Amino acid sequence: MSVGTRPMKPLSVELRLRASRLDVRAQFRVAPGRVCALVGRAGSGKSGLLKAVAGMMPAQGGRVALGADAVYDSAARIDLPAHQRKLAWLDGHGHLVPHLSVRQNLLFGAQGSPHVGALTVVPDDIVNWLDLGGVLGQRPHQLPAAMRFKLALGRALISSPNALLLDDPLGQVPEAEHDALLDLLADVAARFRLPVVLVSPRMHDVIRLADDVVILHEGRVASAGPTAQILSDVSLSTFLEGLHAGSVLEGEVKRHDIEWLLSEVDLGGQRVSVPAMLHPVGTKVRVKLRARDVTLHRDVPVDTSCTNHVRGRITQIMLAGEHGVYGAVGIELDRSVDPLNPQVLPGLPLWGLLTRKSIQQMGWSPGQPCVVSFKAMALAVSAWR
């Protein structure tokens, strides 16, 4: 049996609901094969919205549809129960059946699926992909947390869902094992052509998995769009990670320096050094740089421990009030021009968090060229599917 070969439809959401005394009104759309992350501060309505999409929490109005087929439509009085929506739910608890074996838990996922039918043998492609072959006879309590997650994921996919909803799915797994499991999740959308919606308290998960993000703030959509663009927007920083907020830049691995245990990543034509990684040359990656780790200069500084100096131009300055301590400086990096394809492309955006004093003493203003400096160790890099 091959799971995920049927044509998939986009998931469209437009909902109103009450969640923890919060009035939530949000809409978004996820195409097959793409991952959309709902992000925002704690209490912004992310998990409540996801549960309402799944049919696990009542909505006050709106519509949830797969293509043209509504699973919830308040105007048309359509409200399918959760099991009929066929939107697979996966959270940190797994909800495995404790008295059933791994094999039986996997087969349990196929019950009632018109696309799968009555299975008596677990599909080899799922077992091999998740490396569950050696534990099929064991029960969930005998498995480590990472293996229980794989089992829950396999059961969800064998049910032949219309979409996959992830609510902090790695919440019960030791952090040291997250990267390998994130690689599996990154493979899901493309392998099974599913629309995937993710909620996670860890921005690293979002950077690794999401094609698009929807920022929720007090129950409303503050912004939405491609991950790198939205997460690098200085004007949205207040809705995200506070002092840990920064920029997400998409690039490509170009070289590995074995002697110094560093790697080089191309960011729009400018290369930066990052801690050595195992990703081969040519791998597409996302680089996270916190705004507080950025320093600005008129020219490339000398006698500094920073190894990365990229050129750009200031686009905006946002001060935290007239007498605030700090200000956010938006920057657009210079982009090298390919002589064979001389089209003008916008440079990668990033921003830095500087004191109001340093901004005024340096006389920074929009339109000025600058050099952005930061240490290699200030960068967090993850592969990007």
Count of CB atoms within 10 A of residue 256's CB?
16
Report the pLDDT value the prediction gives residue 94, as an integer from 0 to 100: 84
Q: Which of the four pLDDT bands, split at 50, 70 and 90, describes residue 342?
A: low
Model confidence band, residue 276 (pLDDT cutoffs 50, 70, 90): very high
CA pair distance 275, 273, nearest whole angstrom: 7
| Residue-level pLDDT at 238 | 74
Q: Tokens 């840990």 identify what position?
A: 244
Distance CA 353, CA 37 (A): 25
Buried b / exposed e over 26-47, threshold 16 CB at 10 Å, is bebbbbbbbbbbbbbeeebbbb
4 band by pLDDT with thresholds 50, 70 and 90: very low
**Average pLDDT of every residue of the chain:** 90
Using the predicted structure, report yes or no on whether residue 343 has a pLDDT greater than 70. no
To which H or E segment does residue 102 belong? helix 102-108
Rounded to an integer, what distance in angstroms lies between the CA atom of residue 106 and that of residue 110?
7
Q: Is the pLDDT of residue 130 over 70?
A: yes
State mean pLDDT over 36-64: 95
Enumerate helices (H) and strands (E) in the chain, giving the number of each: 9, 21
For the ranges 4-13, 115-124, 175-184, 286-295, the lowest mean pLDDT is seen at: 115-124
Please report which confidence band the pLDDT of residue 120 belongs to, taking 50, 70 and 90 as the band edges.
low
Position 164 scores a pLDDT of 97
Look at 118 and 363; give whichever has higher pLDDT: 363
pLDDT band at 108 (very low <50, low <70, confident <90, very high): confident
Residue 2 has pLDDT above 70, yes or no: no
Q: Is 152 helix (H, G, I), strand (E, B) or coil?
A: helix
DSSP class of residue 28?
E
Q: Place 290 in a pLDDT band, splitting at 50, 70 and 90.
A: very high
3-state helix, strand, coil split of the chain in percent (to 5) is 25, 35, 40
Instruction: Look at residue 1 in the predicted model and tell me its pLDDT.
Output: 38
Contact criterion met (CB below 8 Å) for 34 and 189? yes
Which residues are CB-contacts of 231 (< 8 A; sequence separation ≥ 6)? Answer: 203, 206, 207, 213, 240, 247, 248
Residue 112 has pLDDT above 60, yes or no: no
Cβ atoms of 374 and 308 within 8 Å: the answer is yes
Q: With bands split at pLDDT 50, 70 and 90, how would you rate the model's confidence at 124?
A: confident
Range in 58-72, 95-109, 298-312, 364-378 with the lowest mean pLDDT = 95-109
- Predicted confidence (pLDDT) at residue 337 exceeds the cutoff of 80: no
The predicted model scores a pTM of 0.89
* H/E run at residue 222: strand 220-226
Q: What is the pLDDT of residue 20?
A: 79
CB atoms within 10 A of CB 126: 21
Q: Residue 74's CB: how many other CB atoms inside 10 A? A: 16
Domains, the chain: 11-231 (3.40.50.300), 246-383 (2.40.50.100)
Question: CA-to-CA distance for 230 and 75, rounded, in angstroms?
Answer: 33
